[in-house]
Chain A
Amino acid sequence: MTPKDRKYTRDHEWVLIEDGKARIGISDHAQHALGDIVFVELPAVGDGFKPGDSFAVVESVKAASEIYTPVGGEVVEVNEALEAEPERINADPYGAFLAVIAVAELDEAALLDADAYDAFVASEG
């Protein structure tokens, strides 16, 4: 079930925007494709990013993957619990956000709703 309360990118991140703050994580499809996640590198609170910037790294046994932010702005919160328990991303991808960014810039065109994202994933095979 792809949650309908949020938007998705073609790089398989999800973004949930509430009160001008964007909570960002990776989709169920992404965590599944990566396999066992063993390490995350999170940004620091106060770091600034532009839409499309790499803001975090998620590593599985096999590979490291850059995670891109669909919004620009300053990081106001990071999910530090993931540093000790990165496997939470596998278990609960839509709960295990990586960071929260105060939205200063938003690239609407880059975002898909849940149905469009599912169709995109299906089309990627």
Chain B
Amino acid sequence: MEALKKTPLYETHLKLGGRMVDFGGWNLPVQYSGIVEEHKAVRERAGLFDVSHMGEARVTGKDAFAYLQKILTNDIATMMPGRCRYSMVCYENGGAVDDVLVYKYSDEDYLLVINAGNTAKDLAWFEQNLFGDAKVIDESPLWAQLALQGPRFLDVLKEAGVSGPLPEKNYTFVPETVVAGIRCMVSRTGYTGEDGVELYCKASDGPALHAALCKAGEAYGLLPCGLGARDTLRFEAGMPLYGHEMDETVTPLEVGVGFAVKLNKEDFIGKQALLSPAKRARIGLHLLERGIMREHCAVYCEGKEVGKTTSGMPVPTLEGSYAMALVDISFAQKDEFEVEVRGKKLKAARAAIPFYKRS
């Protein structure tokens, strides 16, 4: 068996009593104090996540822009330096290679943040489709990435000490600022449904930045958070996760991220396939009976199997059992469903995604 990969924060997780698990080949904490407690800390105060396992691909060169326009479904022509944009990367058949976050430094310099489990596959795909003066460099080992999320994130940052600018608007970033004496790139982004930032620093600075933010956060009730809470938070906020809501057999239109697919853009990989209407749609479900829906449960409507759940779990903020499901599009507007949980069909109602929206 291949040894589990460790992020630069590995020792930190052990020191904080993290419960370490194999997460797609990475040795990461699923929780420290408890998923529900950590989840609530992010909704009500602040939480700090190690997301250094995420991959980073640097794209540079005179043709970097044209190249990215070809491999991304979103249009980056309107992007200014200092902006972040969500996009999908598709195969010719419209299936998802990955969903990514694009950071623009300049017309000839970008950073793509990609899913940890897809890093090798993505890099091979990027490489395979290169043309002109464009280069892709795997910067994943260079970066530590921390996500500081929750309503008190700014207090925590200020307490830690910031010299230099911070990103003021959602989906913007500053390529260089100093937090707690450590040089970072900071973006106003996240994967929790709360306001917050993601901080990128040199891998070797990761533990010091984590420690400084934990200490600064003490007064604000910050908790270090594991991957368990990251999953419940993103789920509640209706955010899709690669490998669950999407994979190479699912298109971005089926996932419901059509906002990141610009069909009026000249040409990009997958465009032809995405011009035909989606056959399935992602819907939300709320269980009306006792039980908990998990992923891969069969979903029925009018007595017919119409799809499967893609993620399902109890949601701490709302309570009760929710799921996302990929269903035949002709049933996507129905309200009454049944979901098979351990051999029993339980009644469920369609629920609007996101399940939770911050007020």
Using a CB–CB cutoff of 8 Å, the interface residues on chain A facing chain B are 35-36, 38-39, 41, 57, 59-64, 83
Contact = CB atoms under 8 A, between A and B. Distances in A.
Contacts of A60: 35
B342 A36 contact: no
B218 to A, nearest CB: 23
B35 A36 contact: yes
10 contacts: A35-B34, A35-B228, A36-B37, A39-B290, A41-B290, A41-B342, A61-B228, A61-B232, A61-B316, A62-B30
A39 to B, nearest CB: 5
A39 B292 contact: yes
Contacts of B221: none
A61 B313 CA distance: 6
A89 B31 CA distance: 19
Given A61-B232, A62-B35, A38 B314 contact: yes
B36 A61 contact: yes
- The range of chain B's interface size is 10 to 19
Given A57-B342, A62-B228, A35 B290 contact: no
Nearest to A61: B35
Contacts of B30: 35, 62
Contacts of B34: 35-36
Interface in B308-324: 313-314, 316, 321
Given A36-B37, A38-B36, 11 more contacts: A35-B34, A35-B228, A36-B35, A39-B321, A41-B342, A61-B35, A61-B36, A61-B228, A61-B313, A61-B314, A62-B30
A36 B36 contact: yes
Nearest to A39: B292
Contacts, number: 41
Contacts of A41: 290-291, 342
Nearest to A32: B19
Interface string B30-59: 110011110000000000000000000000
Nearest to A62: B228
Contacts of B316: 61
B13 to A, nearest CB: 16
Contact of B294 (A35, A36, A64): A64
Contacts of A61: 35-36, 228, 232, 313-314, 316
A41 B294 CA distance: 15
A41 B19 CA distance: 26
Contacts of B313: 61-62
A83 B37 CA distance: 21
A57 B294 CA distance: 14
Contacts of B292: 38-39, 59, 64
A60 B294 CA distance: 11
Nearest to A57: B342
Contacts of B314: 38-39, 59, 61
A32 to B, nearest CB: 9
Contacts of B232: 61
Q: Ordered nearest first, which 10 A-B pairs have the shortest CB separation? A: A61-B35, A36-B36, A38-B314, A59-B292, A39-B292, A36-B34, A36-B35, A62-B228, A35-B35, A61-B314
B20 to A, nearest CB: 12
Nearest to B30: A62
Contacts of A57: 342
A88 B290 CA distance: 18
Contact of A83 (B31, B35, B290): B290
Q: Which of A59, A61, A63, A83 has the most CB of B within 10 A?
A: A61
A47 to B, nearest CB: 15
A61 B30 CA distance: 11
